[in-house]
């Protein structure tokens, strides 16, 4: 029996661009996909970075030092996060950035890093599909008609939700899950109920033939026409 495909779309917000220089992750948002369809399960958390929030970073995501001051440390919530991630592939936009901060936080609290083998980068996918175009999340949402009107500032869970829609479009749209839907239904509900979600077979085209009476009426009508255009070539021959 085919196992359902589980993937995690995630996004992070940080104090800056470089964890090696002391920047920290302050927010993470994750969306679970099963067979490229959102399951409804999410994970979201804010973290106290134990440092100041630069004004440039706060202007992007709106998370102030004051807001984060009473939030838990990453180490105190890491078990819940790893339990949600499991061993699933992790999808992110410009994924090396998010993986870099996630693995930096894991190292700081003595946990093993997430393997880059699990990384799926939607920027890399978009570059292959649309070379020369803009590959920001905003630009790609516009290209695929994904509504982002409610996105005033960056937010990890909101951006993960937008990215989930984009990833589905980049990998074939929602129809990609149709072939796997019946297998998942069999596993959960059994073959009898799974048959109800089977894709219906295409019916053969119906053949319509004119009756002898209809053919006679058609011939009589044609005979009343004065020099029809479609006969001019035949008459000339």
State the residue range of the domain holding 146. 6-171
> Rounded distance, CA 213 to CA 59, Å?
80
Q: 134 and 144 in contact (C-beta within 8 Å)?
A: no
Reply yes or no on whether the pLDDT at 139 is more than 50.
yes
**In-domain check, residue 161:** yes
Task: Decide if 227 is inside a domain.
Answer: no
Which of 43, 12, 33 lies closest to 154 in space, CA to CA?
Answer: 12
Query: Of 155, 157, 199, which Cα lies nearest the Cα of 180?
Result: 199
∠ at Cα 16 (33, 107), nearest 5°? 65
Q: Are strands 90-92 and 119-121 parallel, antiparallel or unpaired?
A: parallel
Q: State the CATH number of the domain containing residue 160.
A: 3.30.420.10
Q: Annotated active-site positions, please?
A: 154
Confidence class for position 178, pLDDT limits 50, 70, 90: very low
Question: Residue 107 — φ and ψ, nearest 5°?
Answer: -65, -40
**For the chain, what is the domain count?**
1
pTM: 0.72
Of 177 and 136, the one with more pLDDT: 136
Give the pLDDT mean for 46-67.
96
**3: pLDDT confidence band, cut at 50, 70 and 90?**
confident
């Amino acid at each position: 029996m085919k196992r359902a495909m589980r993937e995690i779309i995630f996004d992070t917000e940080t104090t800056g661009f470089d964890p090696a220089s002391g920047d920290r992750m302050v927010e993470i948002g994750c969306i679970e996909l099963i067979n490229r369809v959102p399951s409804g399960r999410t994970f979201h958390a804010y973290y106290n970075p134990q440092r100041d929030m630069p004004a440039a970073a706060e202007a992007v995501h709106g998370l102030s030092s004051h807001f984060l001051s009473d939030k838990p440390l990453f180490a105190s919530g890491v078990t819940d996060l790893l339990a949600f991630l499991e061993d699933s592939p992790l999808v992110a936009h410009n994924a090396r950035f998010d993986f870099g901060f996630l693995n930096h936080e894991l190292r700081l609290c003595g946990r093993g890093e997430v393997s880059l083998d699990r990384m799926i980068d939607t920027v890399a996918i978009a570059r292959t599909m649309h070379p020369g175009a803009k590959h920001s999340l905003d630009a790609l949402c516009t290209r695929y008609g994904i509504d982002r009107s409610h996105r005033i500032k960056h937010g990890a869970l909101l951006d993960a939700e937008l990215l989930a829609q984009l990833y589905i479009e980049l990998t074939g749209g929602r129809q990609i899950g149709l072939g796997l839907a019946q297998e998942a239904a069999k596993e959960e509900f059994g073959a009898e109920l799974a048959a109800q979600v089977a894709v219906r077979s295409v019916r053969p085209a119906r053949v319509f033939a004119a009756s002898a009476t209809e053919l006679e009426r058609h011939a009589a009508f044609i005979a009343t026409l004065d020099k029809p255009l479609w006969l001019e070539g035949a008459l000339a021959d």
